Amino acid sequence: MFGVEPQDNLVKSHVMIDPSRSPFIKERMQVVYEGESLQELLNQVEFLQIKGETFKVVYVKNEGSSKMEKIGFENRRAIEKEVGLHINGEAALEHPKRLFGIMVVNGRWFFGDYVKSEPVWHRHQQKPHSYSTALNTRVARAVANIAVPEPVGIKAIDPCCGIGTVLVEALSMGIDIVGSDKNPLILNGVRENIAYFGLSGEVTFTDIRDVTNHYDVAIIDLPYNLCCAITPEQQKEILSHARRIAQRVVFVSVETIDDILLEEGFSIIDRAVVSKGKFMREVIVCE
């Protein structure tokens, strides 16, 4: 997936999400100039001055483009060179400080700052410890993004952290999150998973009933497997304490829990379904 974001600081501020936070966005371009033709774009690029930084121009292929818009390798390199020659600055093919992208979408040309995602979540699949029923890393990263889209000033908790899949993804994105679980047998594994990727985070042997601090958001993958099966009463208790300790909660559940959520005073803000074969999980955002 590719994200193109407009730059319009005079009208409104625009939140720029680092593509590496998302397991779905592969690259992003913040549009600086646009035009009906390449020449119109070049005329605008001439006004761009890069001081104190080296740069490189990359032609970004639009996978959804028509056959008429598809440009061969040699032509792409020629366009990159032509655009680079119109920029007032020092070009660098290796290790540039700034990357610019150029692309054509529906016959219109775009130029802007370009960022390519580093799929760090792929590396997180190779954790020292894992559960077969744990969230996969891609879903865990998406859930952490949904729970904390902007980490600054936000304190989060995963009070049923299991083997720490969500914790690893959240910590790797700079989210201020702590983890806890009532199963003491898994805690060393959680800590080893976190340390294995050079991360650090607090993980404690604590039942959700004993959590006393209050958090901006909680992420809870409700227990469901044979090793930690819970009764409907215990499930309701988890939801009740979740509402007590956090203003906002993202639940992951293998069954419909709407009635219990509403009974516990939650408002359901958004939801999605993640499926793998016949196995389905609901991701529910509540306040």
What digits encode the pLDDT tens for the residues 234-245? 889 999 999 999
Please report, in angstroms and rounded to a whole number, the separation of the first and last CA atoms in the chain.
Answer: 29
Per mean pLDDT, which range of 97-111, 224-238, 263-277 is the poorest? Answer: 224-238
Q: What is the mean pLDDT of residues 96-113?
A: 93
**pLDDT the model gives residue 10:** 31
Q: What is the mean pLDDT of residues 34-62?
A: 93
**pLDDT the model gives residue 109:** 95
**pLDDT the model gives residue 68:** 56
194 — pLDDT class (breaks 50, 70, 90): very high
**pLDDT the model gives residue 117:** 77
70 — pLDDT class (breaks 50, 70, 90): confident
> Who wins on pLDDT, 125 or 225?
125
**pLDDT the model gives residue 227:** 44
Asked whether residue 132 carries a pLDDT value surpassing 60, the answer given is: yes
Average pLDDT in the chain = 87
Asked whether residue 118 carries a pLDDT value surpassing 80, the answer given is: no
Asked whether residue 9 carries a pLDDT value surpassing 50, the answer given is: no
15 — pLDDT class (breaks 50, 70, 90): low
> Who wins on pLDDT, 115 or 6?
115
**pLDDT the model gives residue 230:** 66
Q: For the chain, what percent of residues have pLDDT higher than 70? A: 89
Pairing of strands 49-59, 155-158: unpaired
Q: What is the pTM of this model?
A: 0.74
Asked whether residue 7 carries a pLDDT value surpassing 50, the answer given is: no
